[in-house]
Structure 1
Amino acid sequence: MRLAFVGLGKLGKSILKGILEKGFLAPEEMGVLGRTYERSQELAAPFGLRPLRPEELAQAERVLLAVQPRDFPPLAPLLAHPGVGYISIMAGVSTAVLARRLDNRRVVRTMPNLAAVIGESSTALTATREAREAGDLDFARALFATVGDVYEIPEHLFDPFTAMSASAPAYLALVAEALADAGVKMGMPRALALRLAAEALAATGELLKGRHPAQLKDEVASPGGTTIHGLHALEARALRAAFYEAVEAATKRGHELGEAE
C-alpha cells in the first residue's frame, strides 16, 4: 500500500481524483481510514480503495492526513507508526507538532486549496530533513502536481500562504456575489448577473497570468470612462484595506491554530 488516506472530505476526494485521473497511483495501491470501519468501507467503495482499520496504517508507505485540525490531537496516537511517512493537509499544524504528536520525524506539511477540484490548486510544501531524505517530499511534490501547481516555501510563510491562497476562493466568491448583487440592483436578472460575475473572474485570472495587475487595470480603465469612475468608488470604500485586513486576520488565525497544538 503506497498511500493511505486518513479522512476523505471534499479536498481529500479532489486530491484522490487527481491521483487517479493522472495515473499517479492505482486504486489497489491506496487505502482509506474513516471514523469507523463501516465508514472506511463507505469511503473506499466508490474508488476501489482498500478500507482500513487504524492498525493497518503500519502497512502503508505513506499516510495523507486529511482530517480537521481540531480532530488531530486525539487521533494522533491511533495513527502513529514508526516506519511510515506522513503528509498533512491540515491548516495551522506545523511540522514540529506533527512530529511530536506522531512520534515520527518523517512529516511533510502541505496546504492545497479548493481549486484542486478542477486541477488548479496552488499547493505549498515543506518538510523535515528526515522526510526529505526518505523521499517523502519528492513523493508529495509529484502527488500534488496532479491537482495543480506546487510551491516549496519556508514554513514561516505557511500561515500567510494559507490566508492568501488557500482562503482566496472564499474571498473571490464574495467578490463575485457582491458584483452580481450590484448588477441586480441596476436591473439585471440575477441568473445573468451571477453568470457574468463568474465569467469575469475566470477571464481575469487568465489575463493576469501574463500581466501585472496594475497593467491590466490600466488597460481596462480608459481616461474619463466608466471603469475609472467605478475604481474611484472602490478606492473610496477602502477595498485594498479590506483585503489587507482579511489576509492579516486569516494569518493570525493560522498562528492561533498552531499555538493551540
Structure 2
Amino acid sequence: MKLAFVGLGKMGRSILEGLLAAEFLPPEAVGVVDRDPERTRELAALYGVSPLDYSDLSRAERVLIAVQPKQFPAVAERIAHPQVGYLSIMAGVSTAVLARKLGTRRVVRAMPNLAATIRKSTTALTAPREAVEVGDLEFARGLFKTVGDAYELPERLFDAFTAMAASAPAYLAVVAEALADGGVKMGISRADALAFAADVLVATGELMRLKHPAVIKDEVASPGGTTIYGVAAIEEGRVRHALIEAVVAATQRGHELGEEE
C-alpha cells in the first residue's frame, strides 16, 4: 500500500482522481478509509482502489489526511504509527502539531485549492528535515503536481498562502459575480454576463503569466476612455483595500485555527 487516503471529501477525491489519471500510482497501490464503512466501500469500488479500515493503515507507506481540522485529534488517535509517513491538507494544523499527534516527524503539510477539481490547483508544501530526507516531500511534490502546480514554502508563510491562494477562488468568484451583476444591470442576460466574466478572468490570469498586473491595466486603460473611468470607480469603492484586508483577515483566522488546535 503506497498511499492511503483518510477522508474523501471534495478535495480528497480530487487528489485521488488526479493521481489515478496521471498514473502516479496504480489503483492497487492506493487505499481509502472514510468514517462510514459503507461509503468507504462505495468509493473504493468507484475508483478501483482498496477499501480500508483504520487498523489497516499501519501497513501503508504513506497516509494522506483529508479531514476537517476539528476532526483531527480523534482521527489521529486511530491512525498514528511511527513508521508511516503522513501528508496533511488540513488548514491551520502545523507540522509540529502533526508530528506530536502522529508520533513521527515524517509529516508533510500541503495546501491545495479548489482548482484541484480541474487539475489547476496551486499547492504549497512544507516539511521537517526528517520528511525531506526519507523522500516524503519529494513524493508529495509529485502527488500534488497531478492536480496542478506545487511550490515549497517556509511554514511561517503557510497561513498567508492559505488566505491568498487557497481562498482566492472564493474572492475571485465574488468579483466575477459582481462583474456579471454589472453586466445584467446594463442589460446583458445573466447567462451571457456570467460567461463573459469567466472568460475574462481566465484570460487575464494567462496574461498575468506574461505581464505585471499594472502593465495590463495601463494597456487597457487609454486616456479619457471607458476603462479608466471604471478603474476610478473601483478605487473609490476601495475594492483593492477590501481584497487586501480579506487576505489579512483569512491569515489571522488561520493563526487562530492553529492556536485552537
Report the equivalent of 1:152: 152
The one-letter amino acid paired with 2:171 is Y
Distance 1:250 1:233 in 2: 26
Deviates more, 1:115-124 or 1:162-171: 115-124
Deviation at 1:152, TM superposition (A): 0.4
SS in 1 for 2:8: coil
- Unmatched 5+ residue regions in structure 1? none
Q: How do 1:179-218 residues align onto structure 2 when only pairs under 5 Å count? A: 179-218=179-218
Deviation at 1:108, TM superposition (A): 0.3
Report the equivalent of 1:112: 112
Report the equivalent of 2:93: 93
Report the equivalent of 2:46: 46
Distance 2:194 2:4 in 1: 39
Distance 2:111 2:41 in 1: 27
Distance 1:24 1:66 in 2: 19
Deviation at 1:40, TM superposition (A): 1.4
Report the equivalent of 2:57: 57
- What's the TM-score once normalised by structure 1's chain length? 0.99
Q: Is the 1:28–1:49 Cα contact (8 Å) retained in structure 2?
A: yes
- Unmatched 5+ residue regions in structure 2? none
Distance 1:82 1:43 in 2: 28
Deviation at 1:82, TM superposition (A): 1.3
Identity %: 67
Distance 1:162 1:130 in 2: 24
SS in 2 for 1:187: coil
Root-mean-square deviation (CA, aligned residues, Å) is: 0.7
Aligned length: 261
Report the equivalent of 1:83: 83
Deviation at 1:36, TM superposition (A): 3.0
Deviation at 1:238, TM superposition (A): 0.6
Distance 1:223 1:31 in 2: 60
Q: Does 2:162 align with 1:162?
A: yes
Q: Is the 1:94–1:258 Cα contact (8 Å) retained in structure 2?
A: yes
Report the equivalent of 1:237: 237
Distance 2:223 2:36 in 1: 63
Residues 131-152 of structure 1 deviation map (CA, whole Å, 9 limit, x = unaligned):
1111100100111111111110
Q: Is the 1:34–1:43 Cα contact (8 Å) retained in structure 2?
A: no
Residues 91-134 of structure 1 deviation map (CA, whole Å, 9 limit, x = unaligned):
11000000111111110000011111111111100001111111
SS in 1 for 2:104: coil
Distance 2:7 2:180 in 1: 35
- What's the TM-score once normalised by structure 2's chain length? 0.99
